Amino acid sequence: MSTRKRYWMMKSEPDAFSIDDLERAGTEPWNGVRNYQARNFMRDGMRVGDGVLFYHSNCKIPGIVGVARVASHAYPDDTQFDPTSHYFDPKATRETPRWFLVDVAFERKLGRCIALEEIRRHVDALGEGFPLTARGSRLSVFPVTHAQWHLLLSLE
């Protein structure tokens, strides 16, 4: 098994949970993910210490606003068991959970937002199929290569 650091992008609507919220909390469970592919990335791919680009979505200027890191191994998302939660899943049980999360720890806010519009100007360098710029892709959690990580942060 590789011990090489991996990189990820995690999207959140700032009205629901922003980079400022993560900064205040320090470390927070990344709950509420209800997409199997995104769940699998967290459950099977993420390792403690991996880098995270924090992306604000569904807002006036969507873009990368901060850097965080994966702070825990994957574990069941408790919101799936709570009937009062928006993320409740009646098919999930404690014996066979369906949804997993990782804790994410704040590292820093970027000096400025790297807007989606600016990121799109680098689509050739990011590579075909980069989930953030790919048509129809709505993943909230996805891998970023070492080269993509450095390119995106160089835009700061």
Nearest to 155 by CA among 67, 68, 69, 64: 64
pLDDT at 128: 81
Strands 51-56 and 7-12: parallel
Q: Is the pLDDT of residue 7 over 90?
A: yes
CB atoms within 10 A of CB 29: 16
* Residue 105 DSSP SS3: strand
Chain centroid, CA 37 distance in Å: 12
Residue that the structure tokens 């011990």 belong to = 3
pLDDT at 78: 97
Q: How confident is the model at residue 134 (pLDDT cuts 50, 70, 90)?
A: confident
DSSP letter at 56 equals E
Residue 123 parent element (H or E) = helix 123-126
Residue extents of the structural domains in the chain:
7-147
pLDDT at 12: 97
Q: Is the pLDDT of residue 41 over 80?
A: yes
1 vs 86, higher pLDDT: 86
Nearest to 51 by CA among 36, 37, 64: 64
pLDDT at 136: 79
> What average pLDDT score do residues 110-131 get?
94
pLDDT at 3: 63
CA distance 17 to 21: 6
Nearest to 119 by CA among 66, 65, 155: 155
- Asked if CATH classification 3.10.590.10 holds for the domain at 7-147, the reply, yes or no, is yes
Q: How confident is the model at residue 135 (pLDDT cuts 50, 70, 90)?
A: confident
Q: Is the pLDDT of residue 2 over 80?
A: no
Q: How confident is the model at residue 32 (pLDDT cuts 50, 70, 90)?
A: very high
CA distance 100 to 34: 9
Nearest to 30 by CA among 66, 62, 74: 74
Average pLDDT over the chain, rounded to an integer: 95
